Amino acid sequence: MAAQVIKPVRKLDERHLARQRWARAAWIYGAMLALAVFFIGPFYVAYLGSLKDNPLEWPFRYSFAQTQPKNWAAAWRLGQLGAGNPWTGGFAPGARIPFQVSYFVEEGQEPQTPMVTVPTRRAGAGLGAIFDEVQAAQYARVSEVQEVGRRSALVGGQPGQIVTYGFTITYEGQGPKAARLPLDIEAPRGQMYHSATLDPNRLERRGRVASWDSAAPGFLGYTFRNYVRVFNEARDPNTGASFFLRWTLNTFLVSLAVVLTTLLFASLAGYALARMYFPGKNYLFAFVVFTMTVPAQAIFISNYLVLRDLGLLGSLWGMVVWSAVGAGAVFIMKQFFESIPREIEEAALIDGASPITTFFRIIIPMATPALGALTILTFQGMWNEFFKAAVVLSGQQTNYTLPLGLSFFRSAYGVAGDWGLMLASAFLSMIPIIILFVVFQRYFVEGVSTSALKG
């Protein structure tokens, strides 16, 4: 009897412990999920804002025209009909674009045909407003607007009918291709916009006026319109080349050059401080640590004068020279090298390896975690470096790096309230850093944890 009683008790204890383990795991994963939402949520909201025509709308909507699959399909089809390009669309000779729009008319009111126009409209604010572009209004022909159907409906508690109108926009004869096909549809008073072949970019006058930046936008031109504008509108007035592409290339070249110089000099200096014996080594290391506490703003005047005398102001090489190696990088490498057992180097010396051979063929391959961590820290720091770029590259617009270019976007488009383009450019500038962190995250964690073991 005693054995029979003990056996059920043990089963109850095991079930209780299992429930405790599952509850503990649920709390841990729930806390991690909450932290992820807390930190990633603002970025997700900002990303949605970069897709919107009006990122400042309130209340904020998570479902809007650019996130709806029906508009993706319509934009793809209209881009194909407009210029044979379903991605970015346009308006080219031979285009024939059928379009429909529906309005709600309250009961007791006779529907009236809306007015359709293809207006002359600039690409956007900022730099986009100074470039001449082919206007589709010069070549577009709008057919007669005809009613194609009506049905009874209840909208907002009001009975009435939804009336659908159809028309066709054509490009007859020969001529240049227009990048966009702006479209405005204005309905008489008492009629309110309900739906269309493609949802409009703006609704004005209480829904009577629907406006499209392009009625043949293509998938990218509609869903990622602000991202396309980053490359198409922000161009050099002299050459027509994309500023954003040039700034991205400049930032990549500067970051890559600084990463290479940092890895070389920091590893050499760190190895010397960790393994070699020379007078004043401890004082030199103390000085290196002290320089880590000095902000760049405190010594920028002297650096500016040096770069001026070398003729490097306004040049990307000035950024490289100023940032070639940092005290923090030397500190990380020294701490890592001290964690490597000396017996490895002694064994190499017994086998006849010189100090240079030992360093490059034995020590450096073992320092992969520290070098990986240093790579991501240095690249990220230079990719986001604004102060040095503002000092060295000020006035040389074609030599801007991305942080300085984003600041220029703020001054050029912020005045007009074009926040969508600025959000899109900020997200594009984040992509290389995200990719770099995903690739090097293992080395980053290993390197930082190992460098903290000693010292």
- Summarize pLDDT for 138-166 with one digit per residue, the tens: 999 999 999 999 999 888 888 999 999 99
Residue ranges of E strands in 143-201: 146-155, 158-171, 183-186, 191-196
**Mean pLDDT across the stretch 9-16?**
65
What percent of the chain stands above pLDDT 70? Answer: 91
Residue type, 55: P
CA 145, CA 325: separation in Å to the nearest integer? 68
What percent of the chain stands above pLDDT 90? Answer: 42
163 close to 102: Cβ distance less than 8 angstroms: yes
388 close to 322: Cβ distance less than 8 angstroms: yes
CA 378, CA 381: separation in Å to the nearest integer? 5
The per-residue pLDDT for range 306-315, each reduced to its tens digit, is: 999 999 998 9
Quick count: other Cβ atoms within 10 Å of Cβ 329?
25
- Between 99-108, 238-247, 383-392, the lowest mean confidence (pLDDT) is in 238-247
CA 320, CA 312: separation in Å to the nearest integer? 10
Q: What is the pLDDT of residue 125?
A: 64
In terms of Cβ atoms closer than 10 Å to its own Cβ (0-12, 13-18, 19+), residue 383 is: buried
- Between 50-59, 126-135, 301-310, 381-390, the lowest mean confidence (pLDDT) is in 126-135
Provide φ and ψ at 343, rounded to 5°.
-60, -30
* Residue 177 vs residues 92, 120, 167, 171, 200: alpha-carbon distances, Å: 4, 15, 21, 10, 22
* Residue 328 vs residues 207, 292, 293, 387: alpha-carbon distances, Å: 59, 6, 10, 18
105 close to 91: Cβ distance less than 8 angstroms: no
Return mean pLDDT, the chain. Answer: 86
Strands 209-212 and 183-186: antiparallel
For residue 22, pLDDT beyond 80: yes
CA-nearest of 337, 426, 338, 335 to 384 is 426
Domains and CATH numbers, the chain: 65-225 (no CATH), 243-451 (1.10.3720.10)
CA 10, CA 76: separation in Å to the nearest integer? 65
Looking at per-residue pLDDT, the higher value among 137 and 26 belongs to: 137
Q: What is the DSSP string of 409-443?
A: HHHHHTTTT-HHHHHHHHHHHHHHHHHHHHHHHHH
Residue type, 388: K
For residue 447, pLDDT beyond 60: no
For residue 452, pLDDT beyond 70: no
Q: Model's pTM, two decimal places?
A: 0.82
Quick count: other Cβ atoms within 10 Å of Cβ 82?
30
Q: What is the DSSP string of 118-129?
A: -----S-SGGGG
Q: Could you tell me the pLDDT band of residue 131, with boundaries at 50, 70 and 90?
A: confident
**Mean pLDDT across the stretch 285-297?**
84
Residue 116 sits at the vertex; the CA angle it makes with 112 and 55, to the nearest 5 degrees, is 110
> Residue by residue, what is the 3-state secondary structure of 43-104?
HHHHHHHHHCCCCCCCCCCCCCHHHCHHHHHHHHHHHHHHHCCCCCCCECCCCEEEEEEEEE
* Residue 215 vs residues 32, 189, 355, 411: alpha-carbon distances, Å: 44, 24, 69, 30
Q: What is the pLDDT of residue 33?
A: 74
**Mean pLDDT across the stretch 433-448?**
67
For residue 455, pLDDT beyond 50: no
Q: What is the pLDDT of residue 442?
A: 66
CA 27, CA 22: separation in Å to the nearest integer? 9
Instruction: Tell me the helices (H) and strands (E) count for the chain, helix number first.
Output: 16, 9
